[in-house]
Chain A
Amino acid sequence: MKFFSTNACICRDGDDNRPMPSPLLVIEHLRVDFPEVVAVNDLSLTVAAGDVCGLIGPNGAGKTTTMRAISGLQECTRGSVKVGGHELASEPDELKRRLGFMPDFCPTYDQLTTTEFLDHFARAYDVPNRAQRIGQCLELTWLTEKRDALCEELSRGMKQRLVLAKTLLPDPEVLLLDEPASGLDPLGRIELRKILLQLRGAGKAVLISSHILTELSGFCNTAAIMERGKLVKCGSIAELGREMGTRKMSVKWRADGDLALEILKGAGVKNLEPSNLGAAFDFDGGTDALDDLLKTLVTRGVRVAEWRGVGDDLEQIFLQSGAKELM
């Protein structure tokens, strides 16, 4: 995949051997103006079926505005949004059936039970077998035990899961999740990750925003980095990693530390920091050169116990993308 300097991006890895699935979400030259500021500027992005795309950026980068514009809640100055081939401007009703939007806060009817809340939206979306589908969604979001609880009795994390259940209810092709894990406890985040991987497996296109990168790593296979309304970088996680150049690596070994350090020095790594049975270093080469270095260590007899990039891939990508000024 190539990075388009025109601020356009297809979130797909060039090395991905899977057949190119149909793009479910296509955004072209999207622009949103606020008084005194261009909130989203000439953003083009495509998310295909089976992709979970992380929309990353500091606060105020335009992530939420982008999501609101895609869903039709925010007026666009120009540009087009297509969901499943249906244009937002000309076929809003078709788009509504195919799109699920989970906002970054939890709008619920406090005096309804969770089941009644979901029933409201199931009716609105004309979901077949309502009761069964509501049960499935409650189960998927771990809320079955709370099916008769009033929404006002739920914790913030539970409300977040309920709104996620509401979003999943009509089984939309495209999901926009704005900061979905912000109120979740660690267990909730693990569950969210499972749900998102299921959705990915089910061929949904998911655009998920967050400024907490650890939330996104693990289930995003693509990422789009925004800063001040513009798309700074976009592509598959692997490809973006390759584009980064310098990588921070960590290696641990069981023995032969001196030999390992000698090999690493010889390979021209930077900022080598030895530690007990291991070392951290910066590496400028690409993925192939990194693979070769590991191969050299192993073939020369170093018993490598661990070999990994330091921090999340997304974190590295983000920090090196230049989109950190507002953090």
Chain B
Amino acid sequence: MNLNDNPIFLTQKRLVHRAGVLAAVLIAALVGASLLSGLIAYLAAPLDYNFRSSQDAGRMFYGWVIGVEILVLVVGGFSRICNTLANERKAGLWDSNRLTPLQPWQLVTGYWFGSPLREFYMAVVLAGIGLVIVLLGRLSPALWLGTQLLIFSTALFFGLLAVLIGLVAQRPQNGVILFLLFFLLQFPSFTMPKFLLTNFLLPIYGMADLFRDAADTNSADLLESWNGLPNIFGLPVYPILLSLALQLIVGIFLWRAAVRKTASPFQPLFLRWEAIALFAIILLAQHGLIWGLWRGHFSTAADQGRYYDRESILSIVHCGTLFLGTIVLAFSSAQPERMRVKALRLGFKNPGAIFSGSAVSLAFVLAAVAAAVLLTQCALSLADSWEIYLIAVGNLLAFFLVFSLLLEFCRLRFKRRALGFVALWLFVLCVLPFILAGVFSTAAIGKLSLLSPGIVALANPHDDGLNYLLGIVAGHLAIAFLLFLGWQRQWKQLLAKASTIQN
């Protein structure tokens, strides 16, 4: 279906044009023209400026142009889509559109491309001025083509994410807050750009690579860590291709989720297999990126001092795994009310059926996937590093179990107040030990945190306290078991209530 035949797109276009695009486009043009005039001024009187060459000046001014372009198209577009969808849901227009014979994918496409049109026009103007800067600065047109490709693919990727957030968020600003949080979390990864996946999902390394290629060959101002091609399990990959592939793969999952949620808002965001596949793909790609550091000899290779400065990477990846797993579990966790309705519909009273449908079983699967992927780092040195591996895997399992059980337990027990109680217990289990460790100046208390064992073991593989960490993991698993008992009791009560209502 042509976009111009899509009523949602046409209406969004009408609304954007009615609200006015000229002023926005002129602002973009003025920003671009200011940067262009800076380059022209340099070319007219090169000695008045500190640039080494026209290429150097061109790169600097073009860098500013794409910075503004990213801000407008990626951040602005994301925010626009989120707001539009959340507002139309609130106004009832989303439901009105859903009741038409339009297919769910047509609705998604209409909002995805239609609502950020103003930002698109602004980006096109900036891209045009950027091309002029690239040509005047005698830079390679490949720089312009590559960066524009990455900007637009990233805008599409985050646009799709915005559609999804707009479909589930209660308040439009929630999406923007999540987006900014993601950006803030991104900054620490700049210290090891080639090894962390977020630098490719957001095509930061790809952009840097294109700028480096466009730089003078003898330029020494780029950090060593931003040099060279990334490797996936030892195979060098062009960063631009890696970014595009990652965005495409994750984007396919987001697209499926958005279309499914549009077709029926009562369905889960991700099907179980999708959640597992997405988790596995992201994890595999991440471990593929750092595989070259140890080549399956984790901890022994570090022992030889070859990668001493990078040994914390695996603990950072472990931390990211915990974070990603938490997100997947949160989106896959069964809403008690939905499970109760399902129980009523199917007439089952078997807690086993609840277990298979809940996030608890998924926690086991995610931990197993994470364990299998982590094995790629230490498969060839397992005889020496089995304790570390065991602690890391145990930590992943304990964390995923505790989180999923806690979330469902609190939803069952506290209903609308559930999130507050989940936050409280996560604070107690994860953060409080660190605070107490600081207060009493005892690092051992900090290791009691639910986050600690895996991170500590992977960051300090030759620490003497591995047995202590193993004990802590066992303690965390015991907490998970206690939570499981409470969780089971709550479900039984809910199902008993459901069968009473049914009768």
Asked if A and B bind, the verdict is yes
Interface residues of A (CB under 8 A from B): 31, 33, 35, 38, 71-73, 75, 77-78, 93, 96-97, 99, 101, 103, 105, 107-109, 111-112, 116, 120-121, 123-126, 166
Does A123 contact B10, Cβ atoms closer than 8 Å? yes
Does A112 contact B101, Cβ atoms closer than 8 Å? no
Cα–Cα, bound, A307→B337 (Å): 54
Does A111 contact B101, Cβ atoms closer than 8 Å? no
| Chain B neighbourhood of A105, CB < 8 A | 92
Contact with A along B450-488 (1 / 0, CB 8 A): 000000000000000000000000000000000000000
| Chain A neighbourhood of B96, CB < 8 A | 103, 107, 121, 166
B18 proximal to A (CB < 8 A): yes
Does A125 contact B101, Cβ atoms closer than 8 Å? yes
Q: Name which residue of chain A comes closest to B97, CB basis.
A: A124
Cα–Cα, bound, A99→B18 (Å): 31
Given A35-B415, A77-B341, CB of A96 within 8 Å of CB of B99: yes
Does A96 contact B100, Cβ atoms closer than 8 Å? yes
A-B contact count (CB 8 A): 71
Contact with A along B91-104 (1 / 0, CB 8 A): 11101111111100
Cα–Cα, bound, A124→B103 (Å): 10
Cα–Cα, bound, A124→B94 (Å): 13
29 contacts between A and B (CB under 8 A): A31-B344, A33-B337, A33-B340, A33-B341, A33-B344, A33-B501, A72-B99, A75-B264, A75-B341, A77-B345, A78-B345, A96-B99, A97-B101, A99-B99, A101-B99, A103-B95, A107-B91, A109-B11, A111-B15, A111-B18, A111-B19, A120-B10, A121-B100, A123-B5, A123-B10, A124-B101, A124-B102, A125-B100, A166-B96
| Chain B neighbourhood of A78, CB < 8 A | 344-345
Given A112-B15, A124-B7, A124-B100, CB of A75 within 8 Å of CB of B91: no
Does A96 contact B93, Cβ atoms closer than 8 Å? no
Q: Name which residue of chain A comes closest to B501, CB basis.
A: A38
Q: How far is the CB of B235 from chain A (nearest CB, A)?
A: 46
Chain B: interface residue total (CB-CB under 8 A): 29
B window 198-255: CB within 8 A of A = none
Q: How far is the CB of A47 from chain B (nearest CB, A)?
A: 18
Does B101 contact A93, Cβ atoms closer than 8 Å? yes
B window 242-296: CB within 8 A of A = 264, 266
Does A73 contact B344, Cβ atoms closer than 8 Å? no
Q: Name which residue of chain A comes closest to B5, CB basis.
A: A123
Contact with A along B477-503 (1 / 0, CB 8 A): 000000000000000000000000100
Q: How far is the CB of A74 from chain B (nearest CB, A)?
A: 9
Cα–Cα, bound, A101→B100 (Å): 10
Q: How far is the CB of B283 from chain A (nearest CB, A)?
A: 33
| Chain A neighbourhood of B11, CB < 8 A | 109, 112, 116, 120
Q: Which listed residue (A73, A93, A97) contacts B95, Cβ 8 A?
A: A73
B306 proximal to A (CB < 8 A): no
B310 proximal to A (CB < 8 A): no
Q: Name which residue of chain A comes closest to B107, CB basis.
A: A124
Q: Name which residue of chain A comes closest to B497, CB basis.
A: A36
Q: How far is the CB of B412 from chain A (nearest CB, A)?
A: 11
Q: How far is the CB of A147 from chain B (nearest CB, A)?
A: 16
| Chain B neighbourhood of A166, CB < 8 A | 96
Q: How far is the CB of A34 from chain B (nearest CB, A)?
A: 8
B171 proximal to A (CB < 8 A): no
| Chain A neighbourhood of B345, CB < 8 A | 77-78
Cα–Cα, bound, A71→B264 (Å): 12
| Chain A neighbourhood of B8, CB < 8 A | 124
Q: How far is the CB of B98 from chain A (nearest CB, A)?
A: 7
Q: Which listed residue (B5, B14, B92, B264) contacts A107, Cβ 8 A?
A: B92
Does A75 contact B266, Cβ atoms closer than 8 Å? yes
Q: Which listed residue (A33, A93, A103, A116) contacts B92, Cβ 8 A?
A: A103
Given A73-B98, A120-B7, A125-B101, CB of A109 within 8 Å of CB of B93: yes
Q: Name which residue of chain A comes closest to B7, CB basis.
A: A123
Given A33-B341, A107-B91, A123-B10, CB of A71 within 8 Å of CB of B415: no
Cα–Cα, bound, A127→B26 (Å): 39
Q: How far is the CB of B495 from chain A (nearest CB, A)?
A: 14
Cα–Cα, bound, A7→B93 (Å): 34
Q: How far is the CB of A289 from chain B (nearest CB, A)?
A: 43
Cα–Cα, bound, A126→B92 (Å): 21
| Chain A neighbourhood of B337, CB < 8 A | 33, 35
Q: Name which residue of chain B comes closest to A150, CB basis.
A: B18
Given A73-B95, A97-B101, A121-B100, CB of A116 within 8 Å of CB of B14: yes
Q: Name which residue of chain B comes closest to A94, CB basis.
A: B101
Does A73 contact B101, Cβ atoms closer than 8 Å? no
Q: How far is the CB of B387 from chain A (nearest CB, A)?
A: 47
Cα–Cα, bound, A44→B320 (Å): 52
Cα–Cα, bound, A97→B102 (Å): 10
Q: Name which residue of chain B comes closest to A110, CB basis.
A: B91
Cα–Cα, bound, A93→B105 (Å): 14
Q: How far is the CB of A240 from chain B (nearest CB, A)?
A: 30
Does A107 contact B93, Cβ atoms closer than 8 Å? yes
Q: How far is the CB of A307 from chain B (nearest CB, A)?
A: 46
Cα–Cα, bound, A83→B7 (Å): 25
Q: Name which residue of chain B comes closest to A68, CB basis.
A: B95
Cα–Cα, bound, A107→B96 (Å): 8
Cα–Cα, bound, A35→B10 (Å): 39
B window 322-352: CB within 8 A of A = 337, 340-341, 344-345
Q: Name which residue of chain A comes closest to B95, CB basis.
A: A73
| Chain A neighbourhood of B92, CB < 8 A | 103, 105, 107
13 additional contacts (CB under 8 A) given A96-B100, A125-B100: A35-B415, A38-B501, A72-B99, A73-B98, A75-B341, A77-B341, A107-B92, A111-B14, A111-B19, A121-B96, A123-B7, A126-B101, A166-B96
Cα–Cα, bound, A125→B106 (Å): 13
Q: Name which residue of chain B comes closest to A97, CB basis.
A: B101
Cα–Cα, bound, A263→B101 (Å): 63
Contact with A along B176-210 (1 / 0, CB 8 A): 00000000000000000000000000000000000
Does B15 contact A109, Cβ atoms closer than 8 Å? yes
| Chain B neighbourhood of A31, CB < 8 A | 344
| Chain B neighbourhood of A35, CB < 8 A | 337, 415
Q: How far is the CB of A94 from chain B (nearest CB, A)?
A: 9
Given A33-B344, A103-B95, A120-B10, CB of A96 within 8 Å of CB of B101: yes
Cα–Cα, bound, A44→B310 (Å): 68
Q: How far is the CB of A172 from chain B (nearest CB, A)?
A: 10
Q: How far is the CB of B210 from chain A (nearest CB, A)?
A: 40
| Chain B neighbourhood of A125, CB < 8 A | 100-101
Give the interface centre of B98, B99, B266, B501 by most chain A CB atoms within 10 Å: B99
| Chain B neighbourhood of A73, CB < 8 A | 95, 98-99
Q: Name which residue of chain A comes closest to B100, CB basis.
A: A124
Q: How far is the CB of A283 from chain B (nearest CB, A)?
A: 42
Q: How far is the CB of A298 from chain B (nearest CB, A)?
A: 54
Cα–Cα, bound, A97→B7 (Å): 16
| Chain A neighbourhood of B344, CB < 8 A | 31, 33, 77-78
Q: How far is the CB of A28 from chain B (nearest CB, A)?
A: 15
Q: How far is the CB of A176 from chain B (nearest CB, A)?
A: 10
| Chain B neighbourhood of A107, CB < 8 A | 91-93, 95-96
